[in-house]
Amino acid sequence: MSARDPIAHVRAETCFVDDIPEPQGTLYAAVFGSPVAHGVVCVLDANAATAAPGVAAVFTAGDIPGENQVGSMVADQPLLAADRVRYVGQPLAIVVADTPTRAHQALENITLTIDKRPAVFDPRQAAENGDLIGLPRTIAMGNVDAAWSQCATIVSGRVDSGGQEHLYLETQAALAIPRPCDSMHIFSATQSPSSVQRTVARVLACPMHAIEVEVQRVGGAFGGKEDQATTWAALAALAAHRLQRPVKLVLDRHADMQMTGKRHPYTSDYRLGLDADGRFLAFQATYYQNAGAVADLSTAVLERSLFHATNSYAIANVRVTGMCCRTHLPPFTAFRGFGAPQAMVVIEAAIVAAAETLNVPAWTLQQKNLLHGGDAFPFGMRMQGDTPQRSFDAAVSRFHVRSRLADIERRNAASTFVKRGLAVMPVCFGIAFTTTMLNQAGALVHVFVDGSVSVSTAAVEIGQGVATKLRRMVATALGIDPTRIRIENTSTARVANMSPTAASSAADLNGAAVRLACGTLLQRLKTVAAGIQGVPAGQVTIRDGRVWIDDAPSPLVWDALVQAAHRQRVDLSAHAFYATPKLHYDRQREKGRPFAYHVCGTAVVEARLDALRGTASIESVEIVHDAGRSLDPLVDRGQVEGAVVQGIGWTILEELMVDPDGRLLTDTLSTYKVPDLDFSPTTIEVVFLDDTADPGAVMASKAVGEPPLMYGIGAYFAIRAAIRAVRDVPAERIRLPLTHARILQLLEGE
């Protein structure tokens, strides 16, 4: 992990788990997954597989020395299914062999007798059956029931949004290496090394200190490795433990797509009431989340949906209810945005329905109802600052929304087949883990006697540039050149009890901890410098790799200072801990302050529709975004651009299809389309808002990972606007993704 990381990445020189040189005697594991969505296991016969060429062993649930359990929030997920299977692809056994090919071949020799049971894939059906994970949750403010009678206009409808495959570049992977004295070293492609450590210890019935989980650099994750990297690491560890040999498990793309969970599909009902001036008086929604077969992170995802039900809008009367519906599909999981996109698309659909009913431009309704500083969210927190309006107004004027809409109307009238559409998409996203206890981080900083610095945190570099940001923070804090600083791999032996690298918060949390550790070191070094220079410590600063006394450079350079400190037996290592202040949430009252701050912005999205072919493309996405004082404008721009494209992929391109038996049909890159360069908008312009309020995060910066994904929602409504230039399509039933096939159906008046 260096500043050169992106370059190495593009050259395929980056070292993923599968690229780590293997220890001698490494064996390879392949996973046998359930062929049916729901059934009772009668016989699992692995004798032929065990006898197959090159096979060292086959392991099933009975071989687990500890607890057969990997559920992180709810204990409902066996590592290896024993008596019942709940989704196609659910792991039942692993084969370990001397080559990956032989391990895969031996999978064919496993025979399974299974008693099939009825399976449910529709969340509304699951809800009707009462098959929920946890209880439904409701967040409310004001009095919705009383407000309807005051509304001049009420719209209602249903929104269905699809799942989304993470398609990280590096598939799920782990390498488990037994070490002397009953310990184990695991390389895992995970966002959450401590979760892997904790779960492996549980599965192997050993103390956590016996397990070191190390993460070098993960080849993309997007939430798909927040919870779901654990299973594969635990399986590799189980085999390594039983055989006392290194075991590597790397899912091939096909298995990864079939066996791992994706973004949660939602189906939701809404009702929105407006007064005669177009002000939102009341909003009500019910979200049926398709959770899949086990809890995974579903309850936390649902919570974030509820917290984002009203997006960037102030609505006095709100009641939103959500439930996690258990179905017989692979457990759906974290995906960039973590439930917020699924909720935001509902309120946006409601606004568009209202705008079409009232025959006014949607953006005028949006603008009229934006949050102001001090406005309350339904969960009790208040909006700080004015970025929803500032970004909205800036986007409308800077990107000429009024004149372009008029222009589009003229051009659409003059063109038979080519139609254009434009949508404005504001986003207001809460920063912090909604699970309050996760908002903590530790950091360990060593200064070596040659003056070089090593930094360990809980942050996992997944391609989001956190290492680059951390390096910059440390360089600024210590006043030395970034080249003197190494951001280490992430290891559970150096930093304990880590929260996952998730919730857009890795730079915020780990950066704050690192800055605290640097502060401690700096204090010690300044004392040493003051002694050498014979001045009070208060007059000493360190910058440009040198000691300064009252703004005048001294001859004492960083390396000499460090060596002097070492000679004086001053501790050159510091550990620090950070917990985000002022966060609290009361689950009983459903009120509190779950977020440290909100990140807001506004996008203007323009689409071009070919109404003859039923194809559409996104021409431009222009964004005014608040990144605070950016820690690295290039990294942040990359995050915004990538998130936008991923968001557009979710709303108009990527479609998961499952056959009537619950088997994923779109399990290859030829059947599951993801955005490529050709699909991406010709223009993505990102303008960063300046002079916005310091949220109290690191160096006045703001988190950037997830919020821009939701700008992509504008793509759906831009294409919808273009379709409406051809024919009226009702707004009561919105379905994502708006694929070409779906566009054709709408154009045909389906």
Active site residue 641: no
Smallest separation, CB 505 to ligand HPA (Å):
8
Rule CB under 6 A: is residue 464 a binding residue for ligand MOS?
Answer: no
Applying the rule CB under 6 A, the residues between 489 and 528 that interact with ligand MOS are 502-503
Q: Is 737 exposed, middle or buried (0-12, 13-18, 19+ CB in 10 A)?
A: buried
**CB burial string 393-416: b at 16+ within 10 A, e below:** ebbbeebebeeebeebeeebeeee
Q: State which residue, 155 or 297, has the beta carbon closest to ligand HPA.
A: 297
Of the candidates 405, 373, 404, 365, which has an alpha carbon nearest to the alpha carbon of residue 390?
Answer: 373
The Cα 295–Cα 279 span in angstroms is 38
Rule CB under 6 A: is residue 293 a binding residue for ligand MOS?
Answer: no
Q: Is 273 exposed, middle or buried (0-12, 13-18, 19+ CB in 10 A)?
A: buried
Catalytic residue among 214, 706, 732, 750: 706
Rule CB under 6 A: is residue 465 a binding residue for ligand MOS?
Answer: no
Interacting partner of 335 out of ligand HPA, ligand MOS, none (Cβ under 5 to 8 A depending on kind): ligand MOS
Rule CB under 6 A: is residue 239 a binding residue for ligand HPA?
Answer: no
Rule CB under 6 A: is residue 429 a binding residue for ligand HPA?
Answer: no
Positive/negative CA dihedral, 648, 597, 340, 746: negative
Q: Which x/- pattern over 498-537 shows residues binding ligand HPA (rule: CB under 6 A)?
A: ----xx----------------------------------
Q: Which x/- pattern over 329-348 shows residues binding ligand MOS (rule: CB under 6 A)?
A: -----xxx-x----------
Beta bridge partners of 691: none
The Cα 485–Cα 606 span in angstroms is 43
Smallest separation, CB 227 to ligand MOS (Å):
9
Q: Are 685 and 620 in contact (CB under 8 A)?
A: yes
Smallest separation, CB 191 to ligand MOS (Å):
6
Point out the residue whose Cβ comes nearest to ligand HPA. Answer: 503
Smallest separation, CB 30 to ligand HPA (Å):
30
Neighbours of 462 (CB within 10 A): 25
Total residues at interface with ligand MOS (CB under 6 A): 9
Rule CB under 6 A: is residue 334 a binding residue for ligand HPA?
Answer: yes
The Cα 247–Cα 316 span in angstroms is 57
Rule CB under 6 A: is residue 438 a binding residue for ligand HPA?
Answer: yes
Interacting partner of 336 out of ligand MOS, ligand HPA, none (Cβ under 5 to 8 A depending on kind): ligand MOS
Applying the rule CB under 6 A, the residues between 476 and 505 that interact with ligand HPA are 502-503
Residue among 34, 191, 194, 260 that touches ligand MOS (CB under 6 A): 191
Residue 274, φ and ψ in degrees, nearest 5:
-125, 150
Residue 69, φ and ψ in degrees, nearest 5:
-155, 125
What end-to-end distance do the CA atoms of the chain give, in Å? 52
Rule CB under 6 A: is residue 433 a binding residue for ligand HPA?
Answer: yes
Whole-Å CA distances, 331 to 88, 90, 414, 483, 532: 11, 10, 49, 43, 61
Residues with Cβ within 8 Å of residue 15, at least 6 apart in sequence: 216, 217
Q: State which residue, 413 or 437, has the beta carbon closest to ligand HPA.
A: 437
Residue 600, φ and ψ in degrees, nearest 5:
-125, 160
Smallest separation, CB 591 to ligand HPA (Å):
17
Rule CB under 6 A: is residue 434 a binding residue for ligand HPA?
Answer: yes
Q: Which residues bind ligand HPA (CB under 6 A)?
A: 226, 297, 300, 304, 334, 338, 433-435, 438, 502-503
Q: Kindly list the catalytic residues.
A: 706
